[in-house]
Amino acid sequence: MNDPRGIILPLLRQGEQLLWAGQPDPRVRFTRADAFLVPFSVLWGGFAVFWEGAAITTVREPLFIIWGIPFVVVGLYFIFGRFIFKKRRKIATIYGLTNSRAIVCTGNRSVADSPVIGMPTKVDRARDGRHVSVTFGYQGLIGLLGMYQNTGLDFFIFGMGQAVAFYDVADTDGLMVALEKARVG
């Protein structure tokens, strides 16, 4: 397990105070979008496997066989791979909330941040109340592509209006108290 505070502290700017640091819960697999994505992925993957099977056994045309391979690969990713990607990304992700910004650090590769004061903040609590997700800033293209964030399909929209967000945080009370402190300034 990573030490969230130890990773976020070196990223602070002069005068910033760390109010909260944490990680997403990698055990949370499903989002509300999965009510649509799971049936769609099974239909896509099932049709792609059917197509590929028919192309191999009956048509036996190399073009049809090759044409179906990418659809099978994408179908398998929709069904299984996205959950593996999502869990691995959550294990490598650290969140930090300061008195002026929200910070998301994904491994050693990327750091994203968003101002907290004066920006809209969307808070979504899980139905059971054990997890909370917080989205910071303006939605931009998120209105169109936002349903794919935190599903494992979000790497397809990387760089196209993704919001800075803390997903599936188990420390709901700690995060909400720190968020209130950050809003007050």
- 4-28+94-184 is classed CATH 2.30.29: yes
Q: How far apart are CA 142 and CA 140, in angstroms?
A: 5
User: Which residues, listed in sequence order, are joined to residue 98 by a DSSP beta bridge?
Assistant: 18
pLDDT tens column, 46-74: 999 999 999 999 987 889 899 999 999 99
- pTM for the structure as a whole: 0.84
How large a percentage of the chain has pLDDT more than 70? 86
SS (H, E, C) the chain: CCCHHHHHHHHCCCCCCEEEEECECCCCCCCCCHHHHHHHHHHHHHHHHHHHHHHHHHHCCHHHHHHHHHHHHHHHHHHHHHHHHHHHHHHHEEEEEECCEEEEEECCCEEEEEECCCCCEEEEECCCCCCEEEEECCCCCHHHHHHHCCCCCHHHHCCCCCCEEEEEECCHHHHHHHHHHHHHC
Q: pLDDT tens digit string along 67-111?
A: 999 999 999 999 999 999 999 999 999 999 999 999 999 876 667
The whole-angstrom separation of Cα 52 and Cα 72 is 8
Enter the tokens of residue 133: 């997700």
d(CA 32, CA 116): 25
Query: Model confidence at 174, in pLDDT bands (50, 70, 90)?
Result: very high
